[in-house]
Structure 1
Amino acid sequence: MGKELDELRREYAENEAKLQQYQHRAKRLEQRKQYYEKGERQKHVHRLITRGATVESIVPEVGGHGEAEFYQLAGHIFFLPEVKALLLWEGM
């Protein structure tokens, strides 16, 4: 009986150690996932800012209008047949 109990205690300790290793590994994977997601978000925000700045540098008058007017203007521009054709052109 004593040997059986010692064996069970040893097995329990081994399993506890494995559990801690798996929990640590899961935590590292979650942190890595968050790191990559944050990087993608930062790239997306950078791209939006850069494109907005480009529009304002090409057409400075856009900066003087409100958001609603800008969206309305952009909607009109991007639905023009010539613009649609340019956007669908594979070289763009």
Structure 2
Amino acid sequence: MSKKLDELRREYAENEAKLQQYRHRVQRLEQRKKYYEKGERQKRAHRLITRGAAVESVAPEVKPLSEQGFYSLAEQIFSMPEVRAAVHAAAQREGR
């Protein structure tokens, strides 16, 4: 009986060690996922900032506009057929 109990304790310890390994593996995978998601957010933020800066450099008159005023202007501009066609053509040239 003592041998059986020792064997069960050893098996229990091995399983505890495996459980810890799996927990660490899950934790590493979760951290990797967060790292990649953070990278995508940073890329998007950078793209938005640089494009906003480009708009302000081309049309400095937009600087004093409120956020709502800027969005309203952008909606007006991008609803124009010639602007839509220009955006579509540019996107196709870029291969999208």
Q: Which residue of 2 aligns with 1:36?
A: 36
CA RMSD of aligned residues (A): 0.9
Letter in 2 for 1:2: S
* Pair 1:12-2:12 in alignment: yes
**Structure 1 length-normalised TM:** 0.95
Distance 1:80 1:55 in 2: 17
Q: Which residue of 2 aligns with 1:2?
A: 2
**Structure 2 length-normalised TM:** 0.91
Distance 1:43 1:53 in 2: 15
> 1:27 deviation in Å?
0.7
* Pair 1:60-2:66 in alignment: no
* Unpaired stretches in structure 2, ≥5 consecutive residues: none
Distance 2:55 2:70 in 1: 11
Q: Which residue of 2 aligns with 1:91?
A: 93
Deviations 1:19-77, CA, capped at 9 Å, x for gaps: 00000111111111111111110111111100000000000000011111111110010
> 1:18 deviation in Å?
0.2
3-state secondary structure, aligned to 1:76: helix
> 1:87 deviation in Å?
2.0
Q: What count of residue pairs does the alignment treat as equivalent?
A: 92
3-state secondary structure, aligned to 1:44: helix
